[in-house]
Amino acid sequence: MSAGADRRPSKAEIWLLGAAGLATFFGLWAAVSGFGLVSPRFLPSPAAVAARAFFLLDHPFAGASLPVHVLSSLGRYALGFLLAACIGVPLGLLMGWYRLLDDMVTPIFDALRFIAPIAWVPFAALWFGTGIGGPIMVIFAGAFPPCLINAYRGARFVDIKFLEAARTLGASNLRIILEVLLPASVPSIVSGLRVGAGLGWQSLVGAELIVASSGVGYMMVQGQSAVSTTTVVSGMIAIGIVGYLVDLMLRKLQAVTQRRRGLA
């Protein structure tokens, strides 16, 4: 192979390659739809989608404009994700600390976590109908396992020297959990939040396709019924962009926590 393969590409090169990839993607898309190979009903041109997306920015479709749908999705998402983090992280930490709890919870958890978040949708629909509870339950199902698992791993694999130092310094169990176990697990917890945030967002939109009366997923289903492919694709783009932005924020958080303790 060429010697260049071993060399790390520069930042500019990475940007350039990324831009080239995107250009190729949109180019092919434009070509396929532009030459009339596929009917616009199935595959609208990028320009048509862009026009539709901009139109939806301030014109309602399925009850609200695109930004309002996004906000309504984000609201549910925030609630479901916070719930998953607020229960998953402490429970994971405690499972890493108390062997008994670990042995009790692990079998249930191991069985439940193989049920895909979307598989909770019928159940959620029965419980909550199209109310706010359904999507939240589905997001929770997606975001909870990574939150818990990573907090658990973080706590379980804390360097024993920190725990011993804390004990010789006279710390109570509560203080060891709050001031040693928790901060020592932060890098692992944050990466769990990142994975959970991604899965939660994916699950939410899946849930909205079925059990919601607003939100991006709902807008897409309505678009489908109206045979407005441009609306559907606009929704997909919005999902991608919001998911990317959420991940970007958590990536920043990850970088900050690592820098603070000299890991990066």
Site for another protein, rule CB under 8 A:
161-162, 164-172, 175, 179-180, 183-184, 186, 260-262
Question: Based on CB atoms, which residue is closest to another protein, 168 or 225?
Answer: 168
Of residues 207, 205, 199, 183, the one with CA closest to residue 257 = 183
Query: Which of 167/251 has CB closer to another protein?
Result: 167
Cβ nearer to another protein, comparing 10 with 168: 168
Minimum CB distance to another protein smaller for 252 or for 260: 260
Shortest separation between residue 264's beta carbon and another protein, angstroms: 11
**CB < 8 Å & 24+ apart, contacts of 173-179:** 173/97, 177/93, 177/94, 177/97
Q: In terms of CB distance, is 110 or 179 closer to another protein? A: 179
Distance CA 90, CA 228 (A): 45
Distance between CA 182 and CA 237 in Å, rounded?
37
Between 123 and 162, CB nearer to another protein: 162
Report, in Å, the least distance between residue 71 CB and another protein.
35
Please tell me the total number of residues recorded for the chain in this structure: 264
Residue 59 or 167 having the CB closest to another protein: 167
CB of 166 to another protein, least distance (A): 7
- Cα separation, 137 vs 206, in Å, equals 12
CA 182 to CA 131: how far, in whole Å? 35
Structure tokens, 197: 């945030």
Please choose, from the candidates 222, 241, 254, 252, the residue with its C-alpha nearest in 3D space to the C-alpha of residue 62: 222
Contact in structure between 203 and 142 (CB atoms under 8 Å): yes
Alpha helices in the chain (DSSP H): 11-34, 46-58, 66-97, 99-112, 121-128, 133-156, 160-168, 173-176, 182-211, 216-225, 229-260
Nearest-angstrom CA–CA distance, 143 and 95: 18
**Closer CB to another protein, 106 or 172, in the complex:** 172
What is the rounded distance in angstroms from the CA atom of residue 39 to the CA atom of residue 51?
Answer: 18
